[in-house]
Structure 1
């Protein structure tokens, strides 16, 4: 039997205790090793997965921070244009001729001719009817004879006064006799003057048998036919002047202070394919119409081509205010921000706030003039759009880009 001896440097108690200690801590050490190995494996296995995740994080943040570009439609924007802006007031009424006349007979007699029909244009002084003038001619002849008799009596009276003057000079007659012959001359002269006046009246009566148009215009009505007998003041024709018309328009009394003489008027009449006619305020009736709170405004209308007719109904507007040319903004584009008027202008593909100074406003057209802040050609947001604020990137429609170019 071989007997082994322990080294001297190792005590016997330590040698006996080492196996026991090793057996006691072996399970704990094994568990620790397994935990460390698992953690290392987990870290190693997730190292590559974390790297792509960390690499993608900056791109995701940039994508998240980048604001989308808003594409605008044609109705969302407006290109500012510069022109005059007018404020108008609506009105309506009927057209009537500025001048019209009912031609009446001044003499009595039977109508020999009245060939002018309704709708025919006539000139001032043109013959439109003739009366039987036989009786009028007879009166003229009678007055001419009476004038000749009065002239003869005057000539005789003048000879008598000349003879009386010679006799008075030689003292053959008395002063009273001379005065009597001189008075006879005065009476004869008065008779001549009276006969001339009667002859003039007869000639006027003869001229009145020819009925003439008192003004240029169009025959609107014929009251008598050939063969009818007329008495003085009997109507024969009605003539209207269509070259100059008047639009009698009703305007509410509350709006009358805005209407002034000389203001421009534009109106349309049914049947003329939307053609616009013009006129000017000529006068204003000082009283309201019975049964209404409206006043009549009389508008002068030139109608050189004669297209408009009396009695036609017209609807239009009177320009109560008018400005010089300024950039015009849609009313929907104006916003109130920090106590001032602003618009959102598109500049360089982004929305910027632009303060503006406003002027005349037209609610009917939906426009307001910009006295300062924007120029013609600028592009502004015409509406208040959700999600678009100053600094937002936007894309204009192609039509707007072409208009700007």
Structure 2
């Protein structure tokens, strides 16, 4: 039996199951999970203070070393007069106004002025046909001359009678008759002179003159029209002095006194303030509105205002001396005492003040003591800003340090 030896096959590595890989992989997974958990715990630990700080912002105010205030939160005390006003309104009317009427009848020959023209006192503004008046003057002049001649004759007869009486050629009765004739002739002469004067006045009245200086507001006649006595010819107004007829509630009249200052505005003069003074107060109230009329004298030397304009303003019923003024919003009450939060050296101080007159419309109050001109006070109601707090003014507010206003 032949035994053959087969060639040895190439050596193959013995394959054994690698049981160690699974534990290693598991260990790596555990290590990675542990590292991740530790990282997450560390991150949570770092975020916890931030969350706590955020919760602190939500639950309460953070502690701020310096509060930054805007300029609108602070006001500077100024010293001036404080006025308490009573509103009023009404229309303007000229104090001097005249309607020129004809005194005689006649046809208008000419008119020399028109509406809006200035006239001087005594200026000729119209002429009437004077033919009738001239004829009457001539007639009365003749009557006067006749009466004068009769008086002259009566005086001569009286002189002759007096000479005859002295020689006893006539009786006393005859002399008295001639004396009486003189007196009658004198009376006739006086009557004739009066009629002559009237005729001359009528002749002069055919020339119509302005009775005062002013502005022609209305021309009632034209050339060629006939005027009768007492017919209006022109209306003239003097605009240098006006009266504001203003109505105020009757309940407010006790506050009004003659001489009080009045300031008002007129449509068309938005940038200009006009002034006047209370001149008179009506003694009775209007039946419908239960208001009373207050007459305000207005000086209009520049003739800017016109009659009939509507004015709206106020009467100064009370006025203080020049004193420091603070906004009403700056006043606070601390332990039953009025104080303001004053900024001094970038620090808030509770400054006690004594308040006098108040003006609710203007929102200001007079400070009689405790505060001087130029001081800075806080006008905004800010949470957290208390006496002793440090502040900085004039910087744009920062969210973390800005104190929110109440309300």
Work out the CA distance in 1 between the residues paired with 2:323 and 2:395.
Answer: 26
Q: Match for 2:224 among 206, 224, 227?
A: 227
Provide the residue aligned with 2:304 in structure 1.
307
Provide the residue aligned with 1:295 in structure 2.
292
Q: Match for 1:120 among 99, 117, 120?
A: 117
Work out the CA distance in 2 between the residues paired with 1:303 and 1:356.
Answer: 43
Work out the CA distance in 2 between the residues paired with 1:304 and 1:91.
Answer: 23
Structure 1 unaligned residues grouped into runs of 5+: 1-63, 400-405
Provide the residue aligned with 1:101 in structure 2.
98
Q: Match for 1:92 among 89, 92, 111?
A: 89
Q: Match for 2:157 among 148, 156, 160?
A: 160
Contact 1:100–1:241, Cα closer than 8 Å, also in 2: yes
Work out the CA distance in 1 between the residues paired with 2:239 and 2:226.
Answer: 30
Could you tell me how far 1:293 is from its partner in structure 2? 2.2
Could you tell me how far 1:383 is from its partner in structure 2? 2.1
1:329-378 Cα deviation digits (max 9, x unpaired):
11001111212111111111111111111111111111101000010011
Q: Which has the larger radius of gyration?
A: 1
Contact 1:331–1:367, Cα closer than 8 Å, also in 2: yes
Q: TM-score, normalised by structure 1?
A: 0.81
CA RMSD of aligned residues (A): 1.6
Work out the CA distance in 2 between the residues paired with 1:107 and 1:324.
Answer: 60
Q: Match for 1:147 among 141, 144, 148?
A: 144
Work out the CA distance in 2 between the residues paired with 1:195 and 1:251.
Answer: 59
Provide the residue aligned with 2:42 in structure 1.
none
Work out the CA distance in 2 between the residues paired with 1:137 and 1:126.
Answer: 22
Could you tell me how far 1:243 is from its partner in structure 2? 1.2
Q: Match for 1:354 among 336, 351, 359?
A: 351
SS in 2 for 1:75: helix
Q: TM-score, normalised by structure 2?
A: 0.80
Provide the residue aligned with 2:336 in structure 1.
339
Work out the CA distance in 1 between the residues paired with 2:333 and 2:292.
Answer: 39
Q: Do residues 247 (structure 1) and 244 (structure 2) align?
A: yes
Q: Match for 1:196 among 181, 193, 197?
A: 193
Q: Which runs of 4+ in 1 moved over 3 A?
A: 64-67
Work out the CA distance in 1 between the residues paired with 2:227 and 2:178.
Answer: 48
Provide the residue aligned with 1:22 in structure 2.
none
Provide the residue aligned with 1:33 in structure 2.
none
Mark the CA change 1:173 to 1:398 in structure 2 (over 3 Å): closer, same or farther: farther
Provide the residue aligned with 1:76 in structure 2.
73
- Report the number of matched residues: 336
Work out the CA distance in 2 between the residues paired with 1:295 and 1:273.
Answer: 27
Q: Do residues 270 (structure 1) and 267 (structure 2) align?
A: yes
Q: Match for 2:202 among 182, 202, 205?
A: 205
SS in 1 for 2:277: strand
1:258-309 Cα deviation digits (max 9, x unpaired):
1111111111111123211111111111222231122111111111111111
Work out the CA distance in 1 between the residues paired with 2:201 and 2:207.
Answer: 10
Higher helix share: 1
Work out the CA distance in 1 between the residues paired with 2:173 and 2:273.
Answer: 86
Contact 1:130–1:210, Cα closer than 8 Å, also in 2: yes
Provide the residue aligned with 1:374 in structure 2.
371
